[in-house]
Amino acid sequence: MSELALALTGLCTAHHGRLIQGELEVMDLLERQIAELDEQMRHATEVFAPPLAQLQSIPGIKVSTARDIIAEIGAEMRRLGSATRVSSWAGVSPGNNERAGKRRKGHAGKGNRSLHRVLVPCAWAARKTPTCIGRPLRRLESRLGRKKAAMAVAHKILVIVSHLLREGTFYDETRYARQDARQEERDKQRALAALERLGDNVTLLPVT
């Protein structure tokens, strides 16, 4: 109690009050400027309202990040080609390092750094969601590490963005969850093998 009282005691002179008032005025000015810029961006992006709505249907993408993605790649995907080409241009596609039939660790190119800075936070934002975007990140994080796992999911998000903008559709969990069927089967077999090594026999039954 004495430490709290000591922290609250002190002098606040007119000089200190003027300094505090100056800081508050700066904060008010910045907040007004941010509000004005937000309003200008809202008017400038009204023409992109449909694709912005499509992107915001993807887990982890909000209105601000949707604007950033549209600003970098536009809304017309036919000019950029396939989703693989878009991912390579953005620098989030998996690296390819194969020689004499042996695959080694590859590194993704530098790509578009501005888009890279948008997609990776989107991947982390989707991490806690029970979706086909959040689940792979949690699974890969323990095996590949945080950075590589986020990069892999950022690639997945950009592929979905490319599909939605090209087809004019919204995010459908069932469509992209089907792509994880083989991975889910591998995870299941890996878990069964681990239990068998521990001496347990497991019989799988469908959930009713």
pLDDT digits (tens, 9 = 90+) for 136-170: 888 888 888 888 888 888 998 999 999 999 888 99
Give the single-character DSSP code of 198: T
Residues of the chain with pLDDT under 50: 96-101, 103, 106
Helices 146-167 and 49-56, packing angle to 10 deg: 140
What pLDDT is attached to residue 100? 46
pLDDT on residue 84 = 81
Query: In whole angstroms, what is the distance from residue 104 CA to residue 87 CA?
Result: 20
Helices (H), 9-126: 14-44, 49-56, 63-73, 83-90, 113-125
What pLDDT shows up at residue 206? 72
pLDDT of residue 204: 76
- The neighbour count for residue 196, using CB atoms within 10 Å, is 11
- Predicted confidence at residue 137, as pLDDT, reads 86
pLDDT at residue 36, rounded to an integer: 94
Angle between helices 83-90 and 113-125 (to 10 degrees): 110
Q: What is the pLDDT of residue 3?
A: 56
